[in-house]
Amino acid sequence: MFLSFFALVTSPATPLPCEGAAPCNFSQLVTRFLDIIGLLIPFLFGLALIVFLWGITNAWILGGGDETKIEHGKKIALAGVIGLVVMAGVWGIVALFGSVFH
């Protein structure tokens, strides 16, 4: 009797008790991770947009015709555009994984 109970308890197919806010399986863990990323992406989109707008403002409005400031502003604006494109791609990947795991 004791050996059959021990085999049942230690069997790999026996699910572990899930308590508290911890994820119980891989799907819940991925869902929690995707939820966190989903909260961060709009913030990062806003940050990339601010960088892009600052680059444009710095180059053409505050630059005053100075070629070095215009080139520096163009580099900052390009970094902002690259950031926006990367974040759009990440958002798409997160949406794809979210649809797979939900």
Q: Is residue 2 very low, low, confident or very high in pLDDT (cuts 50, 70, 90)?
A: very low
pLDDT at 5: 46
pLDDT at 20: 66
pLDDT at 101 over 80: no
Residues 96-100: what's their mean pLDDT?
82
> Residue 56's closest CA among 39, 78, 36, 37?
78
pLDDT at 15: 52
Domains of the chain, by residue range, sit at 42-102
Measured between alpha carbons, how far is 60 from 25 in angstroms, rounded to an integer? 53
pTM over the 0.75 mark = no
